[in-house]
Structure 1
Amino acid sequence: MTNRPARFFFRRPCPALHAIEISKDERFIVGISNIKYQNPYQLVVFSSTGDLLKKRHVASSEARLTSDQFEHLARAYPIQFAKLKEHHRVYVSGDDYFIDFDAVESSEKAWDYLIAYMVENHLSENFNESVTNSIIWYYANKPEMILNYSGTELVSISLLDPEKQRFVIQMNE
């Protein structure tokens, strides 16, 4: 941080992070991680004052639902649906709903419903997971994070996936 004396910006709990990017204007701090086990979010975005602006869990697969299927999920499995919403595991892209359903226990009926619609992650087909503890979703050697703006508003973050293909995460997904 070139414009500030050496001191803490803020102190906030956050998940384990492997890479941190500070915006050129020093208004945003983006952290990413490939740790999955007991690490609820693999992406966090903070303002330079410490406000948490975005948190996102990343999985290699998710369920892709139409609007009708999404409404059925909400009606048929209200407890699991509430858990998915609470853990920020529902993403909208175009007319589709993408559900990262790791938060649903495999013994629950909602799991059976969602697994029938499982697809590769809509951000990139190149995400992978280990059976132990990691999600390989960005190019670890050099993720090349780019913060994208509309005027002064941060609207998305793009980075390289494990195969060095660029993908974008919207701030308002």
Structure 2
Amino acid sequence: MRHFFTILTLFFASIAPSSGDYGAYADRVKIWAESEALLVLHNHDWSDSKKIADAFDPLRDEEVHFHSKNQFAYVKVLSKENGEVLWNSPSPAFSHLWVSPDSNYVIGLSNIKINNPYQLVIFDRSGKVLYKHHVTSSKAEFTQNELEDFLFKYPATKKILLTGRLIHDGRSYIDFARMGMPVAIPEKAWEELKNRSKPDPFVPWVIESVTNSVRWFDESEPNLAIVEEDSKRFLMIDSIYGPPASEDNLSKMRIKIEIPRSE
């Protein structure tokens, strides 16, 4: 237990003041979460937006956020028994952390949009990224044949558009709202994608600003849980809004994400 309090004291001792400007998000943030066995620390420093923008190419290399080139954010997991660092990984900028009660999963949630390609990341106990999701208010919906026709018409867009593609009920959902996309693909392709805009099938309730924030989970109490159904595991999260249970009552809609198994 002494290890636990010593680590937290050192972790928070170096916190710098956050920016209160109304410009681009530029905060320095430290948050933590714990289970019975693990202590999880997260730090991100988005104060130098130009340096971050220069380091990351959101259209061609979103994985850079998990590589050593990312000097701006990390997740560190320690044993509460002896303070040993079990793993330390570069990461996107998170605003909420959670550890499953069995310590098998570390979850990062984020309401930060700028220079941040993923707002949901699921790590396994060893630090492997099992799942990542870019949350946005809309994605372009295609049937398989429609997508093939679109990519035949605009072949230069294939590599960019298929990054982060979601498949749900036999349809593809293309993440076309990433920063820089309107100038990276032909104008006609961009217009066609906008005309196919549909809510994200997994995170349908989203409020986002132009550049800074994307609100999609209940930030006061996201109520995360792991449930098992038909030998599959799912992450459950309370969304920011939900469909009305009645005319007089708005109930939260639970976001449900299947967790891939570690190989």
TM-score of the pair, normalised by structure 1: 0.86
- More RCO (CA 8 Å, sep 6+): 1
For residues 144-155 of structure 1, the aligned pairs below 5 Å read: 144-149=223-228, 155=233
Answer 1 or 2: which has greater helix percent. Answer: 2
In structure 1, the residue matched to 2:16 is none
Distance 2:132 2:160 in 1: 16
- Whichever residue aligns with residue 146 of structure 2, its letter is Q
Query: Corresponding residue for 2:90?
Result: 13
5+ residue gaps, structure 2, are 1-34, 38-78, 242-251
Q: Displacement of 1:152 after TM fit?
A: 7.4
The aligned counterpart of 2:219 is 140
Determine helix, strand or coil for the equivalent of 2:101.
Answer: coil
Preserved contact between residue 138 and residue 177 of structure 2 (Cα < 8 Å) = no
| Structure 1 moving runs of 4+ over 6 Å | none
Give the stretch that moved more between structures: 135-144 or 161-170.
Answer: 161-170
Which residue identity lines up with residue 133 of structure 1 in the other structure? Answer: N
Deviations 1:82-130 (A, max 9, x none): 11333x2x11110211112124621323322211101222234421111
In structure 1, distance between residues paired with 2:90 and 2:228: 26
Which segments of 5 or more consecutive residues in structure 1 lack a partner in the other structure? none
CA distance in structure 2 between the aligned counterparts of 1:157 and 1:106, rounded to whole angstroms: 33
CA distance in 1, matches of 2:109, 2:140: 23
Shift in Å, 1:24: 1.7
What residue in structure 2 maps to residue 94 of structure 1? 169
Q: Deviations over 1:141-163 (max 9, x none)?
A: 1111122335876x321211112
Q: Alignment RMSD, CA only?
A: 2.1
1:45 corresponds to which residue? Answer: 122
Residues 49 and 124 of structure 1: CA distance in aligned 2, closer, same or farther (over 3 Å): closer
Q: Quick one: percent identity of the two aligned structures?
A: 28
Query: Match for residue 238 of structure 2?
Result: 160
- The number of equivalent residue pairs is 169
Q: Structure 2: how far apart are the matches of 1:117 and 1:123?
A: 17
Mapped to 1, the partners of 2:174 and 2:136 lie a distance apart of: 10
Distance of 2:100 and 2:167 partners within structure 1 = 26
Structure 2 matches for 1:112-151, cutoff 5 A? 112-149=191-228
Query: Residue 220 of structure 2 aligns to a residue in which SS?
Result: coil
